[in-house]
Structure 1
């Protein structure tokens, strides 16, 4: 059973071993999200039922950060947090509350890594809370290549000029690091991409914003207001949940409060997110 407090606080640095690989959540900061604005097909009664997912200001707590994948001395980072800035809550904004980043370099240090150790930064998509530190001036990742899904790059809307001279494009199925392959999960954005991380018979699906809350595992019909194509998002979310139900399969939900690593298991007639133990630092 999940400790309800974990659903209402951001995650600290935590790690697990996956065969020959070590994977670690690298916190950068947190976001507070307005639940009915973020998931507009929900009603107030849904949040009465799921009140354990809301903090004392009636907000969903979501992380921003990255996933570090290590293979011996080599290091890949998937997503790069919000960056060294903070945005206060705007009461008029329909779904977003306060947001802040800035912790990612210190989180890497807790894991014994410096930004110069990162050989590749791969992005699930190009929203600001996933590319923040890649836009830093001076650059944080001094030797990394940036990998962007081709469909995401071709349809990008946000400013990406600092990325352009270091970017290589990724197609679905490409291996980007030992044991790490790209998985197309469009809907949140046109090129939104997850990554399958596999070693010695176990795999971890890092699914980016295909799922923004653990509740969407049980309610895949709840598309987010920030999904560019909610119908496609739901279709691929259902496909993702089917994959997560397969044996020897774990998941990584970057925005999943303090339950970022987990399994999807059958819970009666539906599926549910079950957090797994990860070593906290």
Structure 2
């Protein structure tokens, strides 16, 4: 990978997809498509031979060479008058060790605003976990400082997640990420830590956090409950649909690979055959779908944007 900055491909504002989940509309707010090198690095077990075993992954989720496609985006939804954003991507203009993320220049905030979620109007930000590509737009540059992008929003993450990183011996790139994207919201009094028990916890009407440990100790998935519909946002417990075919296939950055595999299997088993819409935090378009059991593994049946989703 080149050491030069990676700039997002141009998008037209307002082109991000949206899905109807009961009485909710869930928007995918695009940040950037991740470069082809990302798949082999992130999921090294997803070799071309493995990917080729699932023809349904092509052309949307893998290319003609059987290399995975991945993306960075957020999900935004209004629930009972509350404007909610789940994860905040990589962020612009930040020094990052990963060349594809270093000093990114995308029009993410324009697309977010066009979707009806101007930064000052966001009430709640849910951080599935505290990794660089999930917290970046927590802050924006203001002169020589990093200030909260969403100044009127509570920012939630699991207490177990915060406690893990507070006690970890972090390398300098991760410390830098905390300095520019996490500590400023804490210092502004905007960060709330949530205890997430085994059965999950409601943090607002229609918004439930479910524990999905393994990738990180305190990672959560986000369940959205509308009147007549349900959706689940993965975070990084499932990076890519290839992991439906091979639930034991883990990420190179999973802190506890065995726990991550157990989490994936349990989650997929609970979703299979239901009408719950699965929304992948790094799934490229079409991004969303329903989990179908195939023997002892699974596949994703894509759900087109703006299609009504029935109840469970």
The normalised TM-score by structure 1 is 0.84
Distance 1:189 1:97, change over 3 A: same
Residues 279 and 287 in structure 2, CA contact (< 8 A), matched pair in contact too: yes
Q: Distance in 2 between matches of 1:129 and 1:241?
A: 24
Q: Deviations over 1:96-117 (max 9, x none)?
A: 7734463321111221231111
Residue 243 of structure 1: aligned partner = 270
Give the Å deviation of 1:267: 3.2
Q: Deviations over 1:64-86 (max 9, x none)?
A: 12111112542010101111148
Q: Distance in 2 between matches of 1:17 and 1:44?
A: 34
Match of 1:16 among 19, 41, 44: 19
Aligned CA RMSD, in angstroms, stands at: 2.6
Does residue 98 of structure 1 match 2:100? yes
Q: Distance in 1 between matches of 2:63 and 2:214?
A: 28
Give the Å deviation of 1:269: 4.9
Residue 142 of structure 1: aligned partner = 151
Deviates more, 1:124-133 or 1:197-206: 197-206
Gap runs ≥5 in structure 2? 1-10, 141-145, 308-312
Residue 88 of structure 2: aligned partner = 80
Residues 74 and 117 in structure 1, CA contact (< 8 A), matched pair in contact too: no
Q: Distance in 2 between matches of 1:267 and 1:105?
A: 40
Residues 83 and 133 in structure 1, CA contact (< 8 A), matched pair in contact too: yes
Aligned residues: 264
Residue 5 of structure 2: aligned partner = none
Does residue 166 of structure 1 match 2:190? yes
Residues 30 and 101 in structure 1, CA contact (< 8 A), matched pair in contact too: no
Residue 294 of structure 2: aligned partner = 267
Give the Å deviation of 1:277: 1.2
| Structure with the bigger percentage of strand | 1
SS at match of 1:153: helix
Deviates more, 1:191-200 or 1:243-252: 243-252
Q: Distance in 2 between matches of 1:205 and 1:27?
A: 18
Does residue 193 of structure 1 match 2:220? yes
Give the Å deviation of 1:43: 4.0
Distance 1:21 1:234, change over 3 A: same
